[in-house]
Amino acid sequence: MLKASVEKITLQFKRPAGTSRGILSTKNSWIISLWNDEKPGITGKGEASIIESLSPEWSDEYENELRDILSNIHLFSEDDLINFPSIRFGIEAALKDLKNGGKREYFDNAFTRGEEGIRINGLIWMGDKSFMLDQIKEKLEMGFSCIKLKIGAIDFDAELDLLRFIRAKFSKETLELRVDANGAFAPKDALEKLEALSKFDLHSIEQPIKQRQWEEMAQLCKKTPLPIALDEELIGINEMSLKQQVLNTIKPQYIILKPSLVGGFTASDEWISLAEKMNIGWWITSALESNVGLDAIAQYTATKNNPMPQGLGTGQLFKNNVTSTLRIKRDFLFHH
């Protein structure tokens, strides 16, 4: 019989991380271990990773619900966990690891074998203009050719100034620029802001307005002068028919998949399948997981052979992260 345990870890940021939802200094995750008597000494690891203001299943009872599910793990199928995307992701990863020998090798591919890297974007955290500028310079010195700026927390004109500064030094051929508004714009002035942003040859903007405003987002995607990527919009949309409805209604240029927020690898596969049928582009992003979840997401991402820069973390945000199997070289993530 399958058996399970879980360990809560509180990850501490090396420096507070600014987001449109406030400043984060710590982040909770739960490391799931699965084993059975047929494979003595082999344990599969996965991570249930929560962002308290964003994960749809978050409540004060989350840890109790997780422990309850794990104590009866043999009774649950993947479909039973559809409304617990973070738990579904953690269990799915742990089962893969258990099946593959408990070495945190979730998928077998050139990345997992250390033969190839995954190109990633460099993430610029929100803060005052000088702090964001320092981060940009650091990423460029490291060799990143695609950077993503979180916008919407400081003065919009100051954010435009940052983009102006970057573009004065680096053309779109030299540096790909993405921005993420995390739903910060009001629908009534979003198009005007998109037009101002489009002057800087941006690759895309993520989630310009808050999720669950499908008609307003559909109009934006129809009229936008720069490509729009849905991010938070996908979270909490778990049934296949509803996924189809979201994409048919909004018709975005891109979607962004966070496996720990949309329900794991199978759920991400469903989104990718629907998007590709509609010629909607996509990429995969981590969401502040520890190195356990990040490693599983990176290995999954490598199975897709998507040449676009992916939004994967590097495991270097936290003071007390789990031991890493990942390293970064210029703007590529490698497994070793």
Task: Quote the CA–CA distance of 218 and 214 in Å, as a whole number.
Answer: 6
Check 27, 139, 243, 258 and give the catalytic one: 258
Non-local CB neighbours of 111 within 8 Å, separated by 6+ positions: 117, 118, 298, 299, 301, 302, 334, 335
Q: Of the candidates 122, 175, 185, 186, which has an alpha carbon nearest to the alpha carbon of residue 149?
A: 122
Check 45, 139, 150, 210 and give the catalytic one: 150
Identify whether 304 is a catalytic site residue: no
Identify whether 258 is a catalytic site residue: yes
Exposure string of 286-318, with b = 16+ CB inside 10 Å and e = fewer, is: bbbbbbbbbbbbbbbbbbbebeebbbbbbbebb
Task: Quote the CA–CA distance of 261 and 259 in Å, as a whole number.
Answer: 5
Task: Quote the CA–CA distance of 333 and 260 in Å, as a whole number.
Answer: 19
Asked whether the beta carbons of 129 and 162 are under 8 A apart, the reply is yes
212: left (phi over 0), alpha (psi -120 to 50) or beta: left
Task: Return the axis-axis angle of helices 214-223 and 240-250, rounded to nearest 10°.
Answer: 40
Which residues are bridge partners to 18 per DSSP?
Answer: 23, 126
- How many C-beta atoms surround the C-beta of residue 188 within 10 A? 9
Task: Quote the CA–CA distance of 55 and 134 in Å, as a whole number.
Answer: 30
- Provide the residue type at 9 as one letter: I
Distances 196 to 65, 117, 147, 151, 192 between C-alpha atoms, Å: 46, 35, 19, 13, 6
| Active site members | 150, 258
